Chain A
Amino acid sequence: AQKVTQAQTEISVVEKEDVTLDCVYETRDTTYYLFWYKQPPSGELVFLIRRNSFDEQNEISGRYSWNFQKSTSSFNFTITASQVVDSAVYFCALSEVDNFNKFYFGSGTKLNVKP
């Protein structure tokens, strides 16, 4: 069974639009971590954020915000006022403490921001 599901394969928006990337995870652990990574066309994965399972506070960093809801096992990522430079593939990932902190990645969502 897929531990991390990113149902949106590809999203296209016009610059300045807001966009939300969905991430649903599955785990039986009580202690786990969730991550978002960005992979621009250059290929290198860039770490964006880490949240632990005990901290459901939403986080905002500039134009980026994350909504963590344990009740729905979701960790969604919103980009406000999108820019062309946001175009990339975004990956959500889960790390389970009881599973040697093994990482599980979703299949990624490709975001196209058009000028």
Chain B
Amino acid sequence: QSALTQPASVSGSPGQSITISCTGTSSDVGSYNLVSWYQQHPGKAPKLMIYEVSKRPSGVSNRFSGSKSGNTASLTISGLQAEDEADYYCCSYAGSSTLFGGGTKLTVL
């Protein structure tokens, strides 16, 4: 049960686009279309942003999108806004367990 691999940090300027990668294995990300992404602001509970690789829950901006290729999933945020500054975590179903990535701190410059 190893954690999924995410970059520790990414940054971008307002209006730009950024992409956060999430690398797993053929036993988790590569085997299931059950990758989700969560946004967490300091001191707050995580919030679901993307589920089943690329679907957005009701109320989540269409600036957030997800994709997957092989064992790597990605979250793209377009038109960066100041309020997007937060920690982002990927998550994948892995059979009898669930794995999270180590988290990526997004800084909006």
Chain A partners chain B? no
